[in-house]
C-alpha cells in the first residue's frame, strides 16, 4: 500500500484489511491508457461553486501527459457536460447536486483547463455521471485499442476518480492511481477515498513511478 | 444531511460541500425496491477473512424487510458468487483481493445469512463485482417493474454499498441509504463513505423513517 | 402480427414461429417515449453512399411527432456522430463500414433532416454504434422520466432500428415499431427485419394506431 | 462477402450495399475467444416449442471446439436461464415470447446439449436476453483475457446470434461467424440475418477456415 494511503487509516483498520488480503498489488500491464478525469474549468476554478485549487494536480498530470505523449500511449480527457434540455442527461444527479447546472455545453465551465498539455491526437470524452465508463464510448475504445491498464488522474478523488476506478476494475482492467495526480475539494474525502481505492480496486502508486511506467522506462 | 453523516466531516469540509450544493435532499419516489447487498455468510461470519460482525445491520435490515413484505415492495438480495473456472468472472478484482476466492458457487460462504427474513417471492441475484448493477439483471428488472426509488442496505459501506449507490444514481433512480442498515469491517471507511454517498448520490436517512416509507405510512 | 410483417415469411416459417409463441402481442404501456433513429442527412440524402430516399418515413415520423408534441410525450432524435481523432469512437465498426467516416462532427451529414418537425424541447442524442442504447445516456434518461414504452422510428430497419429495438426489449421496455415509419436502403432487409422484430422483440403496428396511442386517444 | 451470404440478396440490394462499403472484410485478430451460443436442450430438441434440429450446427461447432481446445483458446458456452420468481429476469421478453418459461433453472431444457465437446476448463455463462453481452460477465472476462476477436457459433441466427454479434462489434471486437456453425428454426430468417451480419457487423467465413484460424494454422 502506498505510504500516503496507509497513513490515513488506524492500526486496527489496517489489520482488518490485511487479513482480508486488501493489501495486494496487481501491478502494471503492457498496454496502458491515461485517463484524465474532469480537469475542466468548472472544477479547477475556485469561482465555480463546484471548483477548487487543483494547481498541484494539474502539474503532476502534466508530467504524466509528457510521458504518455513521448511513448504514444493514448490519452483521454473526460469532462462533465450536459447537452440536453433541462439537463435531462444528468437525471436524478442534477436533483442531488443542483450546481451541476453550471456544466452546460457552450459554457466556459466545460472547457478543459488550458494549463494542461493537451495535444491534437488526444481524446476528449463527454460524460454525464461520475464514472467515465458510465454510458460513454470509453469502454469500447479501450477494447478496440487493446488496452490492459488504466491510469486515472484528475478530480475529484471522492467523486469521479473513485467511480471511474471502481468501474475500470469491474471492466477487467489493471487500474493505477498516481497518488499526487488526483485531488479533491477537501482533504478528508481525498484521503479516505485514496485508502478505499488502494485497498480494493487499484494500485495507488507514486506519480514519478507511474510516469516512468508510461514512458516505458520502468524496470 | 443525516446527523450521522454530518458528524464525520470537519466544519471546513462541510462548508465546502454546502457551497457546492452537496447538502440537497432528493426525496422519495412512489415505486421503491429494497436491495439487500451481500449479507451472505462470507461477509457476516467473522471466520471468513472477508467477514465481520454485522448483527446490528441484519436486525435493522429485517425491520426494512418486514415493511417491504407487508406492502408488496419487491426485494432483491444480492451476493458475490463465482461460477467460472479460475474465478474468471472476478477478473482483475480477484488479483486485487485474493480472498474473494472463498466466494465460490457451492460454498457455504455464498449462502444468504439465515438470520434474514427472506421470503419465497424475494429475488436472489448473483453478482461478480462490487456494484449490484454491474453486468447483472438488476437494471432491466427495475425497469420492467417500474421502480423509481432504490433503497440500499447491507455491506460493506465502503465497497459494494458505495458502488451500488453510485450506479443507482447514475441509472436515474432516487437512491436512499438507511444509515443503521449498512455496515463495514471498520468504522472509518464506514463513516467516510456514508458522508460521500449522502453528499453526492443518495439521501442517507434514519432507518425508522425508511421503514415507514417502505410500508407506505410515511407522511 | 402486423399484416406487412406476416406477408414476408413463408407458411412453413410462420407455423414454426407460432408454435414457438412468437406471435404474441405485448401491448402499450402508460408512459411512452418516441425515439427517432438516425434521420440525419447522411442517411436521408441519396448523395451520401450510406443514404437513400426516406421521404415516406420522414412523413410518417412527422405524424408521430405531431402526436407526441401535442400530448407532451418526450422525443429523442438520435444520430451517428464521430467526435474523436481517427474515428476511434466507431472502433471496429469503422473498419467494417469505412464510409461511416462521413459522419464526423461538423459535417452536414450529421445534421437532423430539416424536413422533420423537431421542436425546442426535443432531445438530440449522439451515438456511435447501431443501438441507441449502446454507451449513450438514453438508458438513464428513460429511467429518470419513468418511461415504460419505447416507440422506435427512422432508419435503417436492418441496422440501427433493429439494434435499438433489441436493446429496448432487453432493458425491460414495451417496444413498438410503427411499420411505415421505419425504412431501409433496400426492400429485402427491411422486410426480413420487420418480421424478426415483430416475432421476438417488439409489436409492429400500423402507424396511424401508434399516432393515436401517442396522442392519448387510442381506446 | 461469403458466397452463402451473397446469394441471399438480389443484385439491386447488393449494389446498394457495395456502394455503402458494406462488402468490407475486417479480418482476424491475434487473441480469439470462441462463444457457443444457446446450444442448450431447449433449442436443440424439437420437442421443445422453441427447439429445432440443429445436428449440423452441433457437428460443425464441435470442429471449432476441437481447434480451440487444441490451442488453448478460451471457450464460453452461453445458455438462457431464468433464476428468478415469475421469470422476472426475462422482463418484457417473457411477455413477447411466453414459451421462454420453459427455460427455468433446474429444468432439462437449460442443459448444454451433451453432443457438444464441452471440456472442464470451458466456461458456462447464463444469460437472460438475446445478446450474450447483455447484463452478463462476458464483457469483463474478455477484457481480462485480452481478447480481440470473437467467434460466434450456435443458435438462433435470427435471435441470439445476431444480437451477440451486433454487441461484439459495438464493444470493439473483431467478430467472425462461421457460416455453417450457426442455425435457426427456419431457413429464411437464417439467410437474411447471415446477410445482415456479414454486411454490417461481422465477417461470415467458411467454418473450415475459422477452425484453421482457431488452431493457429491459418496462413
Predicted confidence (pLDDT) per residue in C169-186, tens digit: 999 999 999 999 999 999
Q: DSSP state, C36?
A: E
What is the chain B residue with the closest CA to D86? B121
Picking from B83, B123, B136, the nearest residue to D135 by CB comes out as: B136
H or E, element range at D149: strand D149-155
C-alpha B8/C-alpha B192 separation (Å) is: 7
Of the pLDDT bands very low, low, confident and very high (cuts 50, 70, 90), residue A9 is confident
Decide if C195 contacts C9 (C-beta within 8 A): yes
Least confident of A176-185, D8-17, D133-142: D8-17
Nearest 10 degrees: Cα torsion B56, B62, B63, B67: 160
C-alpha B60/C-alpha B62 separation (Å) is: 5
B66 has a pLDDT exceeding 80: yes
Read off the pLDDT of residues A92-135 as tens digits, 9 standing for 90 and up: 999 999 999 999 999 999 999 999 999 999 999 999 999 999 99
Which three cell numbers mark C185? Answer: 436502403
Interface test with D, best of B88, B125, B136 (most D CBs within 10 A): B88
Residue B7: the pLDDT is 63
C-alpha A165/C-alpha A177 separation (Å) is: 8
Whole-number average pLDDT of chain D = 95
Which three cell numbers mark B143? Answer: 425497469
Q: Which residues of B touch D (CB under 8 A)?
A: 83-85, 88-89, 91-92, 120-126, 128-129, 135-141, 143-145
Of the pLDDT bands very low, low, confident and very high (cuts 50, 70, 90), residue C195 is very high
Read off the pLDDT of residues D34-55 as tens digits, 9 standing for 90 and up: 999 999 999 999 999 999 999 9
A41 has a pLDDT exceeding 50: yes
B97-134: buried (b, 16+ CB within 10 Å) or exposed (e) per residue? bebbebbbeebebbebbeebebeeebbbbbbbbbbbbb
C2 has a pLDDT exceeding 70: no
d(CA D56, nearest CA chain B) in Å: 28
Which of A58, A147, A160, A177 is labelled catalytic? A160
Interface test with C, best of A76, A77, A88 (most C CBs within 10 A): A88
Residue D174: the pLDDT is 98
Residue A132: the pLDDT is 98
Q: Which chains touch A (3 or more CB pairs under 8 A)?
A: B, C, D
Residue C177: the pLDDT is 98
d(CA A164, nearest CA chain D) in Å: 15
A22 has a pLDDT exceeding 50: yes
- Write the CATH number of the domain with boundaries C32-215: 3.40.50.850
Read off the pLDDT of residues C120-142 as tens digits, 9 standing for 90 and up: 999 999 999 999 999 999 999 99
Interface test with C, best of A87, A112, A121, A140 (most C CBs within 10 A): A140
Read off the pLDDT of residues C84-115 as tens digits, 9 standing for 90 and up: 999 999 999 999 999 999 999 999 999 999 99
Catalytic residues of D: 160
Please determine, for the modelled complex, whether the ipTM score is greater than 0.90. yes
Of the pLDDT bands very low, low, confident and very high (cuts 50, 70, 90), residue C1 is very low
Decide if D43 contacts D1 (C-beta within 8 A): no
pLDDT, mean of residues B89-95: 96
The strand ranges marked E within D13-74 are 32-37
Of the pLDDT bands very low, low, confident and very high (cuts 50, 70, 90), residue C163 is very high
Of the pLDDT bands very low, low, confident and very high (cuts 50, 70, 90), residue B108 is very high
C-alpha D19/C-alpha D33 separation (Å) is: 32
Alpha-carbon torsion (A16, A20, A21, A23), positive or negative: negative
Q: Is A160 a catalytic residue?
A: yes
D72 has a pLDDT exceeding 80: yes
Picking from C12, C26, C52, the nearest residue to D96 by CB comes out as: C26
pLDDT, mean of residues B81-91: 97
C-alpha C68/C-alpha C74 separation (Å) is: 7
Count Cβ atoms below 10 Å from residue A215 Cβ, excluding itself: 17
C8 has a pLDDT exceeding 80: no
* % of chain B residues with pLDDT over 90: 94
Residue B1: the pLDDT is 39
- Residues of chain A found within 8 Å of residue B129, distances taken between Cβ atoms: 169-170
Pick the CATH number of B31-214 from 3.40.718.10, 3.40.50.850, 1.20.58.1610, 3.40.630.30: 3.40.50.850
Using left for φ > 0, alpha for ψ between -120 and 50, and beta otherwise, residue C64 falls in alpha
Are the beta carbons of C20 and D50 separated by less than 8 Å? yes
Of the pLDDT bands very low, low, confident and very high (cuts 50, 70, 90), residue D183 is very high
What is the chain C residue with the closest CA to D165? C163
The strand ranges marked E within C17-145 are 32-37, 75-80, 123-127
Residue B6: the pLDDT is 55
Read off the pLDDT of residues D77-122 as tens digits, 9 standing for 90 and up: 999 999 999 999 999 999 999 999 999 999 999 999 999 999 999 9
* % of chain C residues with pLDDT over 90: 94
Are the beta carbons of D95 and C170 separated by less than 8 Å? no
Decide if B120 contacts B128 (C-beta within 8 A): no
Of the pLDDT bands very low, low, confident and very high (cuts 50, 70, 90), residue B5 is low
Picking from C16, C50, C129, the nearest residue to D20 by CB comes out as: C50
Read off the pLDDT of residues D191-218 as tens digits, 9 standing for 90 and up: 999 999 999 999 999 999 999 999 999 9
Residue from D17, D193, D166 nearest C192 by CA: D193
Q: Which CATH superfamily is domain D30-215 in?
A: Isochorismatase-like (3.40.50.850)
Beta bridge partners of A123: A76
Residue C5: the pLDDT is 59
CA angle A210, B158, A44 (to 5 degrees): 50
Residue C209: the pLDDT is 98
Are the beta carbons of D128 and B137 separated by less than 8 Å? yes
Of the pLDDT bands very low, low, confident and very high (cuts 50, 70, 90), residue B206 is very high
Q: Which chains touch D (3 or more CB pairs under 8 A)?
A: A, B, C
D7 has a pLDDT exceeding 80: no
pLDDT, mean of residues D188-193: 96
Read off the pLDDT of residues C44-85 as tens digits, 9 standing for 90 and up: 999 999 999 999 999 999 999 999 999 999 999 999 999 999
Which three cell numbers mark B56? Answer: 446490528
The DSSP annotation for chain A comes to --HHHHHHS-HHHHHHHHHTTTT------SSEEEEEE--BHHHHSTTSTT----HHHHHHHHHHHHHHHHTT--EEEEEE-B-SGGGGGGTHHHHHSGGGGG-BTTSGGGSBPTTS---TT-EEEEESSSSTTTTSTHHHHHHHHT--EEEEEEE-IIIIIHHHHHHHHHTT-EEEEEGGGEE-SSHHHHHHHHHHHHHHT-EEE-HHHHHHHHHT---
Are the beta carbons of D143 and A141 separated by less than 8 Å? no
Report domain extents, chain C. Answer: 32-215
Residue A23: the pLDDT is 86
Decide if B127 contacts B43 (C-beta within 8 A): no
A3-15+30-215, which class in CATH? alpha beta
B27 has a pLDDT exceeding 80: yes
Residue from D151, D77, D162, D82 nearest D121 by CA: D77
Residue D5: the pLDDT is 59
Are the beta carbons of A140 and C143 separated by less than 8 Å? no
pLDDT, mean of residues B28-47: 98
C23 has a pLDDT exceeding 90: no
pLDDT, mean of residues A173-185: 97
C-alpha A53/C-alpha A34 separation (Å) is: 22
Least confident of A29-38, A190-199, C15-24, C101-110: C15-24
Amino acid at each position: 500500500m502506498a505510504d500516503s494511503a496507509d497513513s490515513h487509516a488506524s492500526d486496527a483498520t489496517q489489520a482488518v484489511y490485511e487479513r482480508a488480503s486488501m493489501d495486494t498489488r496487481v501491478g502494471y500491464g503492457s498496454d496502458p491508457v491515461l485517463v484524465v478525469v474532469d480537469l475542466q474549468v468548472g472544477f479547477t476554478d475556485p469561482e465555480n461553486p463546484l471548483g477548487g485549487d487543483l494547481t498541484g494536480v494539474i502539474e503532476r498530470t502534466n508530467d504524466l501527459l509528457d510521458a504518455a505523449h513521448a511513448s504514444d500511449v493514448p490519452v483521454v480527457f473526460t469532462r462533465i457536460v450536459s447537452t440536453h434540455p433541462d439537463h435531462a442527461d444528468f437525471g436524478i444527479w442534477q436533483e442531488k447536486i443542483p450546481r451541476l447546472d453550471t456544466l452546460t455545453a457552450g459554457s466556459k465551465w466545460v472547457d478543459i483547463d488550458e494549463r494542461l498539455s493537451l495535444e491534437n491526437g488526444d481524446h476528449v470524452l463527454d460524460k454525464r455521471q461520475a464514472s467515465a465508463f458510465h454510458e460513454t464510448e470509453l469502454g469500447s475504445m479501450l477494447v478496440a485499442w487493446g488496452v490492459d491498464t488504466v491510469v486515472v488522474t484528475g478530480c475529484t478523488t471522492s467523486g469521479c476518480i473513485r467511480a471511474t476506478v471502481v468501474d475500470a476494475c469491474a471492466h477487467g482492467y489493471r487500474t493505477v492511481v498516481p497518488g499526487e495526480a488526483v485531488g479533491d475539494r477537501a482533504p478528508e474525502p481525498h484521503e479516505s477515498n485514496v485508502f478505499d481505492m488502494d485497498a480494493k480496486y487499484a494500485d495507488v502508486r507514486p506519480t514519478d513511478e507511474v510516469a516512468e511506467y508510461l514512458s516505458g522506462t520502468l524496470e
